[in-house]
Amino acid sequence: MISKKKRTPQLAVIGGGPAGLGAALAASKAGIDDIVMIERDIELGGILPQCIHDGFGSKVFKEVLTGPQYAQRYIDEIARTNVEVLLNTMVLELASNRTITAVNSAEGMITIEPKAVVLAMGCRERSRHQVFIPGYRPAGVITAGAAQRDINIEGLMPGRKIVILGSGDIGLIMARRFTLEGAQVEGVYEIMDHPGGLPRNIVQCCYDYDIPLLLSHTVTFIHGKKRVEGVTVAHVDADLKAVKDTECFIDCDTLVLSVGLIPENEISKHAGVTLDPVTAGPIVDERMETTVDGIFACGNVVNVFDLVDYVTRTSEVAGRGAAEYVLAGRKREAPVRVLPGRNVKYVVPQFVSDLGRDIDFYFRVEHPERAVTARVLAGTSPVKSKKHKMVHPPEMLTATATAADIAEAAKAEGRQVDSLLVEVVDSGK
């Protein structure tokens, strides 16, 4: 079973979800025809096949698609290219010289030595261990994404009486999904004083089905030894500490956790890619190239985007960047840093290698705020600014600075741009 065949493609894409599909397709369109895409599942699409609800594609396609429909468009297009797709294949290791070691049951160990790599592994869910809920360890505690897979792909019902902890979009979507499948959702509990998911999901998933959404609440205890028999919930104070005398017991057989996503970067770390401690994803430049030459990253491996449309956009930038790297090579200039300013938690990309290009910035605010202007500055000169009536942490903000915008700001500054600042300020200022 040991495969002697060594592949030496121009590009290897690790992951066949929306990021990998977009990157492979963009690289193929940019003139690379020797591409290998590696996917561990039995089919392409990543998480999209289980996201059966609609709401995908409003930016990329100007249509409202379901997750499977969105994936199908890319899968169909990939089928028309020469991209070699390796399904059921697990990447074990990526070395900093870009050598990939992977394994599958048909070929055994596989070695791939590509000229460039795109990291497109997506993200994973935070689990109970990362939120520290006291209590027993019964069956019936499940992450929202795992519940989604059970119901939408496997046809299994994880439970009948459900409590959801965390109001991220997947948790909200699952509140509706459980209800439509005949389960009773007792409530969605959110520790923060603002919801984690988009307002539209609160309307169409909670309000439409009279599912209570309780802010500033958390689960303080999980009851039941073999199977979940209930949870204790409590109000939390301003320091997010549970207030003892507000505790109450809720009868349920399942606790669904929707407590956040983390970029999946085990493979990246080994390759020597530098990670950003805030996003937990690789630090990238305007072409989504990491700190290791020839290794690009896109989608939720870089930071958790709230829209698949943004995953696709960054993957297209990475795919084109990788194609350019392979076909033309490039030397990176001294990096210009991109810094988060007032009420900005982080910005992607974290640095710019070439200011002579159009650059898409993606950033998130730290706290909700009304009547603000989000702007990109070079020194004190504005490059780009946009007013917002309201900004919330779950909603990613974007700005595109063209090469001309940056050149103009540099001219106004009267010197070379050595860093860029992204900030959100009161619109009055």
Partner 1 sequence: MANKHQYTCINCPMSCALELTEENGEVKSVTGAQCKVGERYAAEEFADPRRVVTTTVPVRHGLLPLLPVRTTTSIPRRLILDATRRLAEVVVDAPVSNGQVIVPDIMGTGVDVIASRDLDKDAGRQSQARV
Q: Site residues (CB under 8 A) for partner 1?
A: 40-43, 49, 52-55, 58, 64-69, 71-72, 75, 87-90, 104-105, 151-155, 180, 198-200, 202-204, 208, 306-307, 390, 395
Residue with tokens 């805030």, as numbered in its chain? 278
Pairing of strands 184-189, 161-165: parallel
Q: How far is the CB of 203 from partner 1 (least distance, A)?
A: 5
Q: How far is the CB of 6 from partner 1 (least distance, A)?
A: 22
Closer residue to partner 1 (CB): 5 or 62: 62
Q: How far is the CB of 142 from partner 1 (least distance, A)?
A: 15
Closer residue to partner 1 (CB): 88 or 385: 88
Q: How far is the CB of 72 from partner 1 (least distance, A)?
A: 5
| Maximum distance among all Cα pairs of the chain, rounded to whole angstroms | 69
Closer residue to partner 1 (CB): 112 or 283: 112
Q: How far is the CB of 105 from partner 1 (least distance, A)?
A: 6
Closer residue to partner 1 (CB): 66 or 246: 66
Q: How far is the CB of 136 from partner 1 (least distance, A)?
A: 25
Q: How far is the CB of 284 from partner 1 (least distance, A)?
A: 23
Beta bridge partners of 420: 338, 378
Closer residue to partner 1 (CB): 1 or 180: 180
Are 219 and 246 in contact by the 8 Å Cβ rule? The answer is no
Q: Which of 380, 386, 379, 412 is nearest to 400 (CA)?
A: 386
Q: How many CB atoms lie within 10 A of CB 175?
A: 29
Q: What is the CA radius of gyration of the chain?
A: 23
Return the amino acid letter for 96.
Answer: S
Within 13 Å, how many C-alpha atoms sit on residue 13's CB side? 40
In angstroms, the Cα distances linking 122 to 21, 27, 199, 269, 402 are 12, 19, 24, 14, 28
Residue with tokens 């994404």, as numbered in its chain? 145
Report d(CA 116, CA 292) in Å as an integer: 10
**How is residue 244 written in tokens?**
């003892």
Closer residue to partner 1 (CB): 153 or 248: 153
Closer residue to partner 1 (CB): 43 or 266: 43
Q: Which of 294, 309, 264 is nearest to 282 (CA)?
A: 264
Return the amino acid letter for 49.
Answer: P
Closer residue to partner 1 (CB): 148 or 232: 148
Q: How far is the CB of 200 from partner 1 (least distance, A)?
A: 4
Report d(CA 230, CA 222) in Å as an integer: 6
SS3 395: coil
In angstroms, the Cα distances linking 225 to 136, 140, 192 are 6, 11, 29
Report d(CA 329, CA 289) in Å as an integer: 13
Closer residue to partner 1 (CB): 371 or 390: 390
Q: How far is the CB of 307 from partner 1 (least distance, A)?
A: 6
Report d(CA 303, CA 281) in Å as an integer: 6
